[in-house]
Structure 1
Amino acid sequence: MTTNPQATYPRLAMYIAGRWITAADRTHRVVNPATGETLGELPLANAGDLDAALQCAERGFRTWRATPVAERARVLQDAARLLRARVEQIATIATLEEGKTLAETRIETMACAALFDFYAEEAKRTYGRVLVRPAGTRSLVVHEPVGPVAAFAPWNFPVHNPGRKLGAPIAAGCSVILKPAEETPASAMAVVQALIDAGCPADVVQLVFGVPDEVSRHLLASPVIRKVSFTGSTAVGKHLLRLAADTVKRTTMELGGHAPVIVFDDCDLERTVETLAVGKARNAGQVCVSPTRFYVQDAIHDRFVAAFASRFGNTRIGNGLDGQTQMGPLANPRRVEAMGEIVADARRQGARIAGGGDGVDGPGNYWQPTILADVPITARVMNDEPFGPVAAIARFGSLDEAVEQANRLPFGLAAFAFTENARRANLIGDAIEAGMIGINTTGLAAADAPFGGVKQSGHGAEDGPEGLMACMVTKTIHQV
């Protein structure tokens, strides 16, 4: 790493029609959340830029869908190799603009590469089927790319989220207009650059930034766009669904969560505490599947609170570029303010602060690892996703009581349970309403496994074969 990693931060640009565009009428200031220093000025798209991107996506789809699958796979595989070769550069950029530790951004970059590799191979397995018909006739079921995709990625995984939005559509034969978060643009640029350097045609991928509502309304109003892929809050997801309904576009929505954690009294307590402390510290809790609502069985409640407060509360916070840091800053000052409001509400409702509970003096958007105990069900933190390093803990007695609390909210993205009883693990896995469940683990993402939620946490899936099929339509051909 250089003595001044900030000097490696690139000039910010959009990528439209095969050109990197660095100038615009409007710009957005990108800030390092660890220091408050300005990293760069990001050009924002106007209507003309978006129309140009749409025209390119329309052309790109016509040519890319006809490109042999082996060539699509080669582009993704070569891009994956480039991501791995550039991991230190990309990880440093991602840490500078998002704040998470270098260890996390390295893992994230490698996960993006793994996803590209997976879809390079999975694209070759988009089999159809032949239906049984009388001799001399045929009925075929085939899968075809859905068309140009408008993809919207958030800031919390600045490398992996753009990779998710690009890998499956490119493998399927679609073109993509990607709008990542304006807070973390250079990470997305690095992913797109890897695809360009791997030989992805200029019309296949467009990268735009802008005022989010302006961009989404413009793109979704166009008949060129056939599918919308969005990761973000439930409120924004509902807004995009309404826009998509006007032209009946296919949608994949990975929306907000509020993951329950059920800790049974027969768990391996030491391992459970360690697993959950590491999982909660990941990206300072700014993870849609972060463990947030902790329900701990009565018999071990007090021991768990004490052990978890000691382990999570002693997480080393600081600049993500420092190799000793275990948890970086929050992404922006709004998140710090939100943590203060959530903790204050919990205290008013009678919760006890078992650790942390405040911001950190000095530059940067830091918040202490915070443990709230005896949190009533009426507290805001038990009903609204904190999206920060705050763990809210409550007691439960029976399995039925735990299931009732876990399923109480209208969200169903992720859930976790810790038990050494196999029968209990089976029961809880069946009973919890969530798209993903981790039992004795907080690891839920894998290139070959679907990632998505139920209820108001969204629909559809990314990753796995399901992510590829979400970018395809089914056609039946009858021939007599």
Structure 2
Amino acid sequence: MTDLSYEADLKLFINGSWRAGEERDHFQVRNPATGETIGELPLASTADLDEALDAAERAWPAWKELGVDKRGAILKKAAALLFERADHIGRILVHEQGKPFAEAKGEVMGAAQLFDYYAEEAKRSYGRVLVRQPGQRSIVIPQPAGPTATFTPWNFPIYLLAKKVSAALAAGCTVISKPAEETPGCCAELARALADAGIPKGVFQLVHGVPDTVSRHLIGSGVIRKVSFTGSTPVGRHLMKLCADGPKRVTMELGGHAPVLIFDDCDLDKTLDAVVPQKFRNAGQVCVSPTRFYVQEGIYEAFAKGFAERTKAVKTGFGLESGVGMGPLANDRRVPAISALVEDARAKGARVLAGGEAGDRGYFYQPTLLADVPLEAEVMSTEPFGPLALMRPFASDDEAIEQANRLPFGLAAFVFTENGRRANRLGDEIESGMVGINNFNVSAADAPFGGIKDSGFGSEGGVEGLQSYQVTKAIHMA
């Protein structure tokens, strides 16, 4: 990569037009690799939010009546534009979020695939006919839920935004989206692709602002009928309370603390080659990041040795530099948070086999492997959301299942074994919305993505993602 410049146009997109600074407050956007300010983001005023709500309400009747073919054509064009602009958007994403360019471009491509998928999936949104007496008919049909508010985080800013927006638009909803203020430029590019694809005024809008202020204003409005949120469990609980006053339909994709069960019959080197890159992908800032590694006793030390060697070989740096395997954490809050978890674990007896220190610039923290981590360590119960791998040995299948299910989280879990009977049992007994067996591919456009217990409810992706933006109507005719 030779183009290292940050070329983002930081604006709001309201009622079909771009809004810049004017008299609005601003948020300083920083490059996490350096800590330097790279842009100023205008924040929506109360008047901006009211205009967005009014526009979404007025645009909804025509959008839902447009029909799936015409809606799909707009989504298809937006997908093509995202594919075409993937390099440009990927560079913006590296500057704002820190991940290596290959990961950033892959995220943009994944966002494009979601629009492409839902442009077609909306055409397969079927109802059903119920058996009745001759001359009578009862039918069940899906209809769009209505104007929708979405709230998305900074770890996969354009992909998670696309996952919500593509399904909601395909279903016939209008959408007001509030992404994270740390990563606004790549999200503005998604809005630009939709605008250039011909999205009608008011159908999709992008706002930024103080999170609590914006969420209260949008959720408190009678215009909004559906809310979709991806983020932490505490914030999700807060938003659900706000939604209850509506009441409003909700989808919540919340925190996780993914267990990884490594059995002694796995292909050790192949497994290590798979798990280490996944652990440090996006600096571990992934809701389904493999984190709690439970390794069968017979291979525990060999697995730890191989994991440590591979961890030490991960090159950290600015994501547009050659050979970088892991970038910085996303903001200045994360480094002290990770440091505190590591020091607590070390004080309680954990062995540091690799890493364990903050970087000397930006928001970097070394890829870190902790072995023999006691259950009393805070990190064994608190999602680290960073480049920390935690290891403990286990003896039996029952013990492994017990440890996997120990926490109130249930988003994703992973198993590595060559025993088919064991794989079937673990797939059934692990309490998680998604289970990956001998692989980490739990997120795809055509597959449901969601958790249970404190990891939320509802799914995104697949037909379930489309259905989450629909309501069911039964019509009985005599």
Q: Give the TM interval when normalised to the shorter protein.
A: over 0.9
1:358 equivalent in structure 2: 357
d(CA) in 1 for partners of 2:163, 2:216:
22
Q: Deviations over 1:297-328 (max 9, x none)?
A: 10000000010011122211111011310101
Kindly state the Cα deviation for residue 45 of structure 1 after the two structures are TM-superposed: 1.1
d(CA) in 1 for partners of 2:422, 2:266:
11
d(CA) in 1 for partners of 2:267, 2:378:
30
Aligned residue-pair number: 477
d(CA) in 2 for partners of 1:244, 1:305:
45
1:186 equivalent in structure 2: 185
Kindly state the Cα deviation for residue 106 of structure 1 after the two structures are TM-superposed: 1.0
Matches within 5 A, 1:440-459: 440-459=438-457
Unaligned runs of 5+ in 2: none
Aligned with 1:159: secondary structure?
helix
Aligned with 1:29: secondary structure?
strand
Question: Of the candidates 454, 461, 467, which is equivalent to residue 463 of structure 1?
Answer: 461
2:400 equivalent in structure 1: 402
Aligned with 2:157: secondary structure?
coil
Question: Of the candidates 395, 414, 417, which is equivalent to residue 415 of structure 2?
Answer: 417
d(CA) in 1 for partners of 2:470, 2:267:
44
1:388 equivalent in structure 2: 386
Q: Deviations over 1:271-318 (max 9, x none)?
A: 111111010110000000000111001000000001001112221111
2:5 equivalent in structure 1: 5
1:80 equivalent in structure 2: 79
Matches within 5 A, 1:239-250: 239-250=238-249
2:295 equivalent in structure 1: 296
Letter in 1 for 2:369: I
1:430 equivalent in structure 2: 428
Letter in 1 for 2:374: P
Kindly state the Cα deviation for residue 158 of structure 1 after the two structures are TM-superposed: 1.6
Q: Deviations over 1:330-369 (max 9, x none)?
A: 10111111110000000111111111100111x3111111
What is the root-mean-square deviation of aligned Cα atoms in Å? Answer: 0.8
Matches within 5 A, 1:144-293: 144-293=143-292
d(CA) in 1 for partners of 2:109, 2:3:
24
TM-score normalised to structure 1 length: 0.98
Letter in 1 for 2:221: S
Kindly state the Cα deviation for residue 443 of structure 1 after the two structures are TM-superposed: 1.8
Aligned with 1:65: secondary structure?
helix
* Equivalent residues of 1:412, 1:435 under 8 A apart: yes
2:305 equivalent in structure 1: 306
1:326 equivalent in structure 2: 325
Q: Deviations over 1:67-117 (max 9, x none)?
A: 111001001100110011101001001111000011001111111111111
1:377 equivalent in structure 2: 375
Q: Deviations over 1:231-274 (max 9, x none)?
A: 00000000000000001100000000000000001111001111
d(CA) in 1 for partners of 2:50, 2:366:
45
d(CA) in 1 for partners of 2:456, 2:352:
33
1:54 equivalent in structure 2: 53
d(CA) in 1 for partners of 2:467, 2:9:
36
* Equivalent residues of 1:127, 1:142 under 8 A apart: yes
Aligned with 1:272: secondary structure?
helix
* Equivalent residues of 1:11, 1:22 under 8 A apart: no
Kindly state the Cα deviation for residue 2 of structure 1 after the two structures are TM-superposed: 4.7
Cα gap change, 1:277 to 1:56, in 2 (>3 Å): same
d(CA) in 1 for partners of 2:3, 2:384:
35
d(CA) in 2 for partners of 1:167, 1:250:
18
Kindly state the Cα deviation for residue 47 of structure 1 after the two structures are TM-superposed: 1.1
* Equivalent residues of 1:165, 1:178 under 8 A apart: no
Aligned with 2:342: secondary structure?
helix
Aligned with 1:28: secondary structure?
strand
d(CA) in 2 for partners of 1:459, 1:255:
8
User: Is the counterpart of residue 316 in structure 1 residue 315 in structure 2?
Assistant: yes
Cα gap change, 1:462 to 1:3, in 2 (>3 Å): closer
Letter in 2 for 1:5: S
User: Is the counterpart of residue 22 in structure 1 residue 27 in structure 2?
Assistant: no
Letter in 2 for 1:106: K
User: Is the counterpart of residue 37 in structure 1 residue 36 in structure 2?
Assistant: yes
Kindly state the Cα deviation for residue 3 of structure 1 after the two structures are TM-superposed: 4.0
Cα gap change, 1:3 to 1:84, in 2 (>3 Å): closer
Kindly state the Cα deviation for residue 172 of structure 1 after the two structures are TM-superposed: 0.3
Q: Deviations over 1:183-232 (max 9, x none)?
A: 00011101111111111112100100000000000011111000000000
d(CA) in 2 for partners of 1:478, 1:450:
31
Q: Deviations over 1:159-189 (max 9, x none)?
A: 1011012100000000000000000001110
Q: Deviations over 1:111-161 (max 9, x none)?
A: 111111110010001110111111111101000000001000100002101
Aligned with 2:65: secondary structure?
coil
d(CA) in 2 for partners of 1:14, 1:2:
29
1:116 equivalent in structure 2: 115
d(CA) in 2 for partners of 1:3, 1:286:
26
Unaligned runs of 5+ in 1: none
Letter in 2 for 1:353: V
Aligned with 1:118: secondary structure?
helix
Kindly state the Cα deviation for residue 25 of structure 1 after the two structures are TM-superposed: 2.6
Aligned with 1:223: secondary structure?
coil
Kindly state the Cα deviation for residue 38 of structure 1 after the two structures are TM-superposed: 1.2
Letter in 2 for 1:401: E
Q: Which runs of 4+ in 1 moved over 6 A?
A: none
d(CA) in 2 for partners of 1:389, 1:444:
20
Aligned with 1:163: secondary structure?
helix
Letter in 2 for 1:351: A
* Equivalent residues of 2:401, 2:430 under 8 A apart: yes
Identity %: 57
